[in-house]
């Protein structure tokens, strides 16, 4: 009969050994938002740097993507690796052996609390390719060009300190919610406020065999609800390229390992937070597009190649835009704002079934012809503000419904690139826990 750990491993899950800064470390300065946020706002990261100062911080263990184009990235990467090694040598962390963490994140001002389960997922059960039939799947197109620079960062890293969120399709609340109703039975690991309007986050340790057994039973039951010929437990919510980077590194590492060494190697696993897509605190936010060096006519010409026709309506307010984007009548709509105009576009016979994919096709055409560059942004306010600057344009997309998430990934193989984000930028997962990924 398989052990509980073997049963969990069959579903791609394990309780990892988790590192958390010791009690004397200021977690409000330690915890930092995901590196792929505020990529058009270097002033955000300057504020964070000033606030952290010389204190121990995850900021010194990550590469904010706002700096990816800097001239000497290897200098920053070397500093990251030095910080990881120094923090380990200085015994900065408490160690929680073979544990899950139950995580509760609450937004600033209360409300919108959401639960997660910090766990290790088996990269052998993950495949980022479109149409994969693995237990863990990418929910959007993986841009292969984005993996090499991230591999350079991870290659010599002693630690992973992830912002990855992975979704489960659990409408009956069978995995995480029973744990959240029983928190008095678990030991609290930490509770801290988060910088820059990040709210608060609390974690409890789950390390008892009885709870592991219950989780194995629940994952087994969840899997049994899937189609037998195509079982599918986990879909990426945030951090797909981080998980793809971990997988790519593992594919390199495993070439030099025996079967026995592969089974226990720490790089085979990735630390992630699992969340139930139906948690009411999980808010799907559309990811908007910000175009640079774009001429309005160039945008119209590209759009016209991906729909039979389109109609435009001048808008007077964001509220008016959101009213139209919320309509459930099958018409693809999006907002457009540049220096001179604020418009609602309604498409006739678009080439794709989702407006995010239609718009991505338009953007890809503009990029191919070098008629624009693009950034993917979170939040209407900042996108519209930056889109109003000369030679820029903002594209505002509607909310993607939760109920369509797993269905679209299973049937289509993926969602269009950058379809949605889980919450606003300041609500993203903060780096806090770490895990060793070297022997």
Whole-Å CA distances, 298 to 287, 302, 372: 22, 6, 9
- Is residue 229 over pLDDT 80? no
Which tens digit of pLDDT belongs to each residue from 69-90? 888 999 999 999 999 999 999 9
- Is residue 149 over pLDDT 90? no
In whole angstroms, what is the distance from residue 338 CA to residue 352 CA?
A: 25
Which tens digit of pLDDT belongs to each residue from 104-115? 999 887 666 999
pLDDT at 112: 67
Which tens digit of pLDDT belongs to each residue from 325-366? 999 898 999 999 999 999 999 999 999 888 998 999 999 999
Q: Could you tell me what percent of the chain has a pLDDT over 70?
A: 99
In whole angstroms, what is the distance from residue 67 CA to residue 287 CA?
A: 21
Average pLDDT, integer, range 166-195? 96
Neighbours of 370 (CB within 10 A): 8
Q: Is 286-419 CATH 3.40.50.300? A: no
pLDDT at 231: 83
Rounded to 10°, the helix 355-368/296-304 angle is 120
Q: What is the pTM of this model?
A: 0.82
- Is residue 424 over pLDDT 80? no
Average pLDDT, integer, range 153-171? 94
CATH 3.30.1760.10 in the chain, residue ranges: 286-419
In whole angstroms, what is the distance from residue 216 CA to residue 257 CA?
A: 28
Which tens digit of pLDDT belongs to each residue from 284-303? 888 999 999 999 999 999 99
Partner residues linked to 291 by β-bridges: 374, 393
The residue that leads in pLDDT, 23 or 146, is: 23
DSSP 31: -
Average pLDDT, integer, range 410-422? 79
Under 8 Å between Cβ of 242 and 34: no
Q: Out of 8-12, 132-136, 265-269, 408-412, pick the least confident.
A: 408-412
Average pLDDT, integer, range 4-14? 95
Among 356, 379, 185, 372, which Cα is nearest to 292's?
372
Strands 199-206 and 100-106: antiparallel
Six token digits for residue 264: 């226990």
């Amino acid at each position: 009969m398989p052990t509980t750990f073997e049963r969990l491993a069959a579903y791609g899950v394990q309780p990892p050994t988790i590192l958390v800064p010791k009690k004397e470390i200021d977690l409000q300065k330690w915890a930092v938002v995901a590196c792929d946020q505020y990529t058009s706002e270097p002033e955000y990261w300057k504020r964070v740097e000033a606030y952290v100062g010389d204190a121990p911080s995850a900021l010194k263990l990550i590469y904010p993507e706002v700096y990816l184009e800097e001239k000497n990235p290897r200098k920053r990467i070397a500093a990251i690796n030095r910080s990881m090694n120094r923090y380990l040598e200085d015994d900065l962390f408490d160690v929680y052996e073979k544990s899950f963490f139950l995580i509760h994140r609450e937004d600033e001002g209360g409300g919108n609390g959401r639960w997660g389960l910090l766990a290790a997922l088996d990269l052998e059960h993950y495949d980022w390719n479109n149409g994969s039939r693995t237990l863990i799947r990418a929910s959007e197109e993986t841009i292969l060009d984005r993996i090499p620079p991230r591999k350079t960062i991870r290659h010599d890293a002693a630690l992973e300190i992830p912002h990855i969120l992975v979704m489960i399709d659990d409408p009956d609340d069978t995995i995480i919610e029973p744990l959240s109703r029983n928190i008095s039975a678990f030991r609290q690991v930490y509770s801290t406020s988060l910088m820059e309007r990040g709210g608060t986050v609390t974690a409890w340790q789950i390390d008892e065999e009885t709870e592991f057994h219950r989780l194995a039973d629940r994952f087994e039951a969840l899997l049994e609800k899937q189609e037998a010929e195509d079982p599918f437990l986990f879909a990426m919510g945030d951090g797909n390229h981080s998980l793809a980077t971990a997988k790519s590194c593992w594919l390199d590492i495993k070439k030099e390992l025996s079967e026995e060494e592969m089974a226990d190697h720490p790089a085979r696993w990735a630390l992630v937070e699992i969340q139930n897509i139906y948690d009411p605190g999980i808010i799907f936010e559309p990811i908007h597009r910000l175009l640079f060096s774009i001429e309005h006519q160039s945008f119209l010409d590209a759009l016209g190649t991906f729909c039979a026709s389109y109609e435009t309506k001048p808008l007077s307010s964001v509220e008016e835009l959101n009213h139209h984007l919320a309509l459930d009548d099958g018409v693809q709509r999006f907002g457009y704002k540049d220096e001179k105009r604020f418009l609602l576009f309604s498409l006739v016979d678009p080439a794709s079934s989702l407006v995010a994919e239609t718009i991505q096709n338009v953007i890809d055409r503009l990029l191919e012809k070098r008629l624009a560059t693009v950034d993917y942004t979170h939040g209407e306010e900042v996108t519209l503000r930056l889109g109003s600057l000369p030679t820029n344009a903002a594209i505002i997309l509607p909310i993607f419904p939760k109920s369509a998430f797993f269905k679209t990934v299973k049937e289509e193989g993926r969602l269009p690139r950058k379809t949605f984000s889980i919450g606003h930028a300041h609500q993203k997962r903060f780096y806090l826990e770490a895990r060793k990924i070297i022997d």
